[in-house]
């Protein structure tokens, strides 16, 4: 089955919340996306209804979201879109949209941001190549 990927740009509805899910951390936040249309008749811009999406960012992406994003920030999110249907406490069936983020960043059409590269944890020194094995592989066949 093919995943549905979307790119959304909107505003963070609240601060990023982090929780533990098994062995991994996941950061979650709400993203409000309000369409804006120009109306020639009135010569003005009009906002449409805001659509809200839940965004989940796993592992290091989630850590970076937690450390970088704050309520009200303009954000661009790219990821897999899933519709989740559930019944609320009033017995009403509700559909919510969740994006499992693969990329998240500030929307630079709205302001400036400063990037800081994170360093990955070292798992030990890289093994040195076996020189004799490399020479044997490069030698012409007899």
In-domain check, residue 119: no
- Condensed to tens digits (0 to 9), the pLDDT of residues 55-114 reads 999 999 999 999 999 999 999 999 999 999 999 999 999 998 899 999 999 999 999 999
In-domain check, residue 140: no
**Where does the chain have alpha helices with state H?**
59-68, 131-138
In-domain check, residue 116: no
In-domain check, residue 54: yes
Contact 59, 65 (CB under 8 A): no
In-domain check, residue 136: no
In-domain check, residue 114: no
In-domain check, residue 20: yes
Domain that holds residue 17: 5-109
Give percent of the chain with pLDDT exceeding 70. Answer: 84
pLDDT of 134 reads: 44
Name the domain count of the chain: 1
In-domain check, residue 141: no
């Amino acid at each position: 089955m093919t995943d549905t990927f979307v790119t959304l740009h909107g505003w963070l509805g609240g601060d990023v919340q982090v929780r533990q899910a098994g062995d991994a951390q996941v950061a979650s936040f709400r993203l409000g996306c309000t369409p804006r249309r120009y109306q020639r008749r009135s010569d003005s811009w009009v906002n449409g209804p805001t659509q809200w999406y839940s965004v989940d960012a796993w592992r290091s992406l989630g850590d970076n979201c937690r450390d970088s994003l704050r309520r009200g920030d303009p954000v661009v999110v790219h990821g897999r879109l899933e519709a989740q249907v559930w019944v609320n406490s009033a017995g009403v069936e509700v559909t919510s949209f969740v994006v499992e983020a693969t990329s998240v960043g500030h929307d630079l059409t709205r302001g400036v941001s400063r990037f800081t590269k994170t360093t990955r944890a070292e798992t030990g020194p890289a093994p040195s190549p076996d020189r004799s094995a490399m020479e044997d592989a490069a030698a012409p066949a007899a």
